[in-house]
Structure 1
Amino acid sequence: MTPAGKSLTAAAAGLAAGTAVLLRRAKARSSAKSAGDRWLTVTIYREPGEVRPDELPSPLREYGDRIETRVRPAPGDRGTELAVRLRETEPDAAYSVPARLAGADPRQDLRQALREAKSLLEAGEVLRPDAPPTTHDTPGGKLVGLLSRRAGGEGVL
């Protein structure tokens, strides 16, 4: 088998494994009341008094009254937990695996805004990877690039 064939085979296997994980997670979440009722949470390396729900960074402030916000000390004295969720939920189909894969899950933009808010609170700016990348355009590199772009809405690669 050629190196390109091996790369494509490995990429296909990785994609199949990722899809299986998403399906398993979706099945586990189906027992919850609604996927839209879930809180999205990040831990911020700041004292609880420094993170105030009435003074959120701009990515979350743009949501206005469409989100609920919860701020509390993180377990183990490790900073502050900032949690958000959408007030009005969409039909459960909007949170399904196909909707997530298509980038149509309404929580994906909120996840991105929450990560950007964390970065602003901790570093004062939203950190981005180097552009242009310093890698060569190979089939494996293209796949990693695609997955990295899709990970922005999910929070995981």
Structure 2
Amino acid sequence: MRKLWWAVPVAAVGAAAVRRSRSSHRADERAGDRWLTVTVNRPPTDVGSEGKLPPPLDELAERIDVRIRPAPGDRGTELAARFKEPVPAASASVPARLAGQDPRQELRRALRDAKSLLEAGEVLRPDAPPTTRSTPGGKLVELFTRRSGGEGTL
């Protein structure tokens, strides 16, 4: 009996892993239906004036739903958007994201650019190249930056 003391923790960890993978699979199926949100440091009247969407989002107006409401604590405006049609699970997979074929990347970029335009008056981009000498680590960062579609996430 003493030799089987390790079986209980192993079984508990295995059950937790199965439960977590099932719930993450369900979350992946709903990923395309989620609202993507940014907080803009402007009043709601400046963000959605006269029922018009901010510039990068207005190009996607036919394909997206947009929600504009005051941010909690009177700290600006929450600008949220999601696609009207669910995004296919295959296009939201990691390989699709790495290949730049996830439509949510376009929506994330449009939200980020809208926030930048509303707050700063222009879309701010980092200077390139950040270093003058190419290094293996720099090449890896450059690859991931290119593959992330400029949205800041893989």
TM-score w.r.t. structure 2 length? 0.75
Q: Deviations over 1:87-106 (max 9, x none)?
A: 11232222122222222111
Q: Please name the residue that 1:127 is paired with.
A: 124
Give 1:116's match in structure 2, choosing from 92, 113, 117: 113
Q: Which ranges of structure 2 fall in alignment gaps of 5 or more residues? A: 1-19
Structure showing greater radius of gyration is: 2
CA separation in 2, counterparts of 1:26 and 1:83?
Answer: 28
What is the CA RMSD across the aligned residues, in angstroms?
2.5
Paired positions, count: 134
Percent identical: 66
Please say if residues 28 and 89 of structure 2, whose CA atoms lie closer than 8 Å, have aligned partners that are also in contact. no
Q: CA deviation at 1:58?
A: 2.1
Aligned to 2:65: 68
Q: 1:116 and 1:154 mapped to 2: Cα distance?
A: 10
Q: Structure 2 matches for 1:127-146, cutoff 5 A?
A: 127-146=124-143
Q: Within 5 A, what are the aligned runs for 1:1-157?
A: 28=24, 30-31=26-27, 34-52=30-48, 54-152=51-149, 154-156=151-153
Greater shift, 51-60 or 29-38, is seen at 29-38
> 1:138, CA displacement in angstroms?
0.7
